[in-house]
């Protein structure tokens, strides 16, 4: 799409979602605009799907997701400008929010929505940290042995690479605050409180007589944790709104932030912090134990089914768990390898379609999707433009992922570096362990790509012959 059309596309999307007054929150990930909508009856889903410039539309939980592709940030920037005045008006209004019926489905949808809104914006920081962690993994004693563990470059890249994971509470404090409507610096402040050296030192030393306003506190080290800060900022959103509503405007700027933090201290340090820490421990234990219970088949199943999770928005559950696993133990041998292998299955599916399709326009489009998958790591064009459109390529996509995942599981491949990217650079997730691990990880990924391409080629050629004979 040419640069001059982004304004037009943004205005069309805004009109079809019901206008700016119908949008209560907007964020984006690598390929999708993620809207929170006030009234879904005003949204024209079919119109959004047919719009030139969108790849698909989904309602995932409380979010309306409009799939744009790699240019999503350009559309988002324009929409954000359009919506700023409306968001300001919504923040100042006292109109009650529309009540929604609480069900198990709505609760699950809200959890997915929260995880997406809190963790999605953190990914660029994790990508940057992963880049620095890969430098000592490749150049250090584990592989090329060009630098030693005592070298300045090794030490620098190591602590820079670890910083994002260790200070998760601070990073997610910011993104969660934006997601839940909290003053952003208060989210950051709460994350800093949880990471303060005094608190970390007391937790490390096992101090057991510390209290918060007289309330006994089970001290925890919240470094590299994800769940505690999300729970705390979510609760803080209600507390801050309460004080902003009750305190006169002349005193609000001074007392509302202070009272909000004062109330949050016992809630955070005595209740939600320890609770979230324990939940995180169980999440890590479940994912690490998955390989023990399901064996090599676990990676194969996740690699095969992951694209379907992406299409339904459920993939954020796996990503959230991986954030916690890598922050805690530093590697994963089940889900993380599967994500890279699945990405290569997407590439193979697009390549197979580009080779199989006979219509010149469709062939060129599939080739464009293949280039996008290989270089940008964007899977949605292939998922929606090829698999959802022709249906049979799903066999290649899921089959290739399963085959590559099966090889990975059988050879015990692990991801020693969290690389959130899903293009060719995702192969670097296999560095940092051993040369054999890297070789087997690359073989598994290439196997997924080739098998997906072959299966997709076969089924699409079969479909085209049937169509020609009909």
Higher pLDDT, 372 or 285: 372
Listed in order, strand segments (DSSP E) in 199-263 are 211-212, 215-216
Higher pLDDT, 453 or 99: 453
Output the pLDDT for position 339.
Answer: 92
Q: Which of 287, 164, 282, 172 is nearest to 228 (CA)?
A: 172
Taking 70 as the threshold, does the pLDDT of residue 170 lie above it?
Answer: yes
* pLDDT cut 90: percent of the chain above it: 40
Which residue do the tokens 């007392």 mark?
A: 255
Residue 104's CB is within 10 A of a number of other CB atoms, namely: 7
pLDDT of residue 3: 47
At 392, the pLDDT band (50, 70, 90 cuts) reads very high
Which pLDDT band, with edges at 50, 70 and 90, does 420 fall under?
low
DSSP percent split of the chain into helix, strand, coil, nearest 5: 70, 5, 20
437-449: per-residue pLDDT in tens? Answer: 999 999 999 999 9
Buried b (16+ CB within 10 A) or exposed e, 384-416: bbbbeebebbbbbbbbbbbbbbbbbbebebbbb
Average pLDDT score, the chain: 85
* Residue that is written with structure tokens 């001059």 in the block: 4
Domains defined for the chain, CATH in brackets: 3-91 (3.30.1360.60), 167-288 (no CATH), 295-469 (no CATH)
Per-residue confidence band for 94, with pLDDT thresholds at 50, 70 and 90? very low
**Which residues share a beta bridge with 66?**
33, 57
**Lowest-confidence segment of 49-53, 113-117, 149-153, 254-258 by average pLDDT:** 113-117
Using CB atoms within 10 A of its CB, is residue 123 exposed (0-12), middle (13-18) or buried (19+)?
Answer: middle
What does the pLDDT read at residue 104?
Answer: 64
Q: Which sign, positive or negative, has the C-alpha torsion 105, 110, 113, 118? A: negative
- Residue 467 has φ and ψ, to the nearest 5°, of -65, -40
Tokens of 179: 């997601």
Rounded average pLDDT over 195-202: 93
CB-based burial of residue 128 (10 Å sphere; 0-12 exposed, 13-18 middle, 19+ buried)? middle
Across residues 191-212, what is the average pLDDT? 93
Q: 228 near 272, Cβ under 8 Å?
A: yes
Quick one: what percent of the chain has pLDDT higher than 70? Answer: 90
Contact indicator for 399, 455 with CB cutoff of 8 Å: yes
What is the pLDDT, as a whole number, of residue 2? 45
Q: What distances in angstroms separate CA 218 from CA 222, 229, 231, 266, 461, one per listed residue?
A: 12, 16, 17, 11, 63
Beta bridge partners of 34: 27, 65
Give the model confidence (pLDDT) of 307-334 as tens digits: 888 776 667 778 878 887 887 788 888 8
How many CB atoms are closer than 10 A to CB 362? 18
Q: What are phi and psi of 268, to 5 degrees?
A: -75, -50
Report CA 125 to chain centroid distance, whole Å: 12
Name the strands in the sheet holding 32-37, side by side, starting at the edge strand that comes first in the sequence. 23-28, 32-37, 63-67, 56-60
Worst-scoring range by mean pLDDT, 52-56, 165-169, 228-232? 52-56
User: What is the DSSP pairing of strand 56-60 with strand 32-37?
Assistant: unpaired
């Amino acid at each position: 799409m040419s640069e001059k059309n982004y304004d037009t596309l943004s205005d069309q999307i805004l009109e079809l979602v019901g206008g700016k007054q119908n949008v209560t929150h907007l964020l984006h990930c690598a390929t999708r605009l993620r809207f929170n909508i006030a009234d879904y009856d005003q949204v024209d889903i079919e119109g959004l799907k047919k719009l030139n410039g969108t790849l698909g539309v989904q309602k995932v939980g409380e979010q309306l997701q409009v799939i744009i592709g790699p240019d999503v940030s350009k559309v988002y920037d324009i929409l954000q400008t359009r919506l700023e005045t409306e968001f300001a008006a919504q923040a100042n209004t006292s109109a009650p929010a529309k009540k929604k019926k609480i069900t198990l489905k709505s609760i699950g949808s809200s959890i997915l929505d929260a995880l997406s809104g809190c963790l999605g914006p953190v990914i660029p920081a994790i990508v940057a940290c992963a880049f620095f962690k890969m430098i000592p993994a490749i150049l250090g004693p584990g592989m090329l042995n060009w630098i030693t563990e005592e070298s300045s470059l090794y030490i620098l890249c190591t602590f820079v690479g670890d910083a994002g994971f260790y200070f998760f509470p601070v990073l997610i404090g910011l993104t969660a605050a934006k997601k839940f409507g909290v003053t952003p610096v208060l989210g950051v402040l709460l994350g800093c409180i949880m990471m303060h050296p005094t608190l970390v030192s007391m937790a490390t030393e096992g101090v057991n007589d510390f209290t918060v306003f007289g309330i006994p506190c089970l001290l925890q080290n919240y470094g590299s944790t994800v769940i505690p800060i999300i729970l705390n900022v979510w609760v803080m959103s209600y507390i801050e709104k309460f004080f902003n509503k009750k305190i006169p405007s002349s005193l609000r700027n001074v007392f509302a932030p202070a009272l909000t933090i004062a109330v949050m201290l016992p809630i955070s340090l005595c209740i939600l912090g320890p609770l979230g820490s324990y939940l995180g421990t169980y999440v890590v234990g479940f994912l690490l134990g998955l390989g023990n219970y399901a064996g090599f088949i676990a990676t194969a199943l996740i690699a095969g089914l992951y694209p379907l999770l992406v299409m339904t928005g459920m993939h954020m559950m796996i990503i959230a768990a991986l954030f916690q696993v890598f922050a805690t133990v530093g590697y994963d041998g089940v889900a993380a390898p599967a994500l890279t292998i699945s990405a290569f299955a997407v590439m193979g599916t697009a390549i197979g379609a580009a080779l199989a399709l006979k219509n010149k326009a469709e062939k060129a489009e599939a080739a464009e999707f293949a280039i996008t998958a290989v270089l940008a790591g964007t899977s949605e064009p292939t998922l929606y433009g090829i698999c959802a459109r022709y249906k049979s390529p799903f066999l290649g996509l899921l089959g290739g992922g399963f085959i590559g995942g099966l090889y990975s599981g059988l050879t015990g491949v692990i991801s020693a570096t969290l690389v959130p990217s899903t293009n060719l650079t995702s192969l670097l997730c296999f560095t940092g362990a051993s040369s054999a691990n890297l070789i087997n990880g690359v073989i598994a990924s290439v196997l997924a790509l080739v098998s997906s391409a072959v299966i997709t080629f076969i089924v699409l050629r079969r479909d085209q012959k049937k169509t020609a004979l009909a």
